[in-house]
Structure 1
Amino acid sequence: MDKLALNNINDNPSRKDRKRVGRGTGSGVGKQAGRGQRSEISFWRQRKTGFTRRANAFTNEVPKFGFLFQEFPGCQKV
């Protein structure tokens, strides 16, 4: 293999181009642009951080651990 130099750099052929969505029906991903119909999710510009479409938010599904009552000086670990 040759040394890396400016005259022998190639594009990565396996990399896919970014698909622009919502740019007309002729593009194949126009109108609803893969977001579905109705619901708030189809209208948001950006996805809400920490929001999932499941019953519980991700933060509620993560197990909690450690001593949580550190702000109360009278409480101690047993």
Structure 2
Amino acid sequence: MTTEVLRKKTGRYLCGESVPAEKKQIQNWLSCTGEKDNSISPEERAMIENEIVGQVQAYVASSLFIPKAEPWWKKITAFF
């Protein structure tokens, strides 16, 4: 992870705006103290990655299905 990505994620975490997968990931990063045996297992890493991908896919899909309101001037021109 780059420093910019970590800053964005920790900023969202501290403001309470992060998604559950980000919270889990950040809490894991914060719990690592540099010791080698504190790393997460490959299964847990895969689970976190799948959660993040699922949340991104759900967010993108939900934004495609939300209808956008027409501007007022389009409604008036359609009326005439």
So what's the TM-score if we normalise by structure 2?
A: 0.27
Which is bigger in relative contact order (C-alpha 8 A, separation at least 6)? 2
So what's the TM-score if we normalise by structure 1?
A: 0.28
Larger Rg over CA atoms: 1
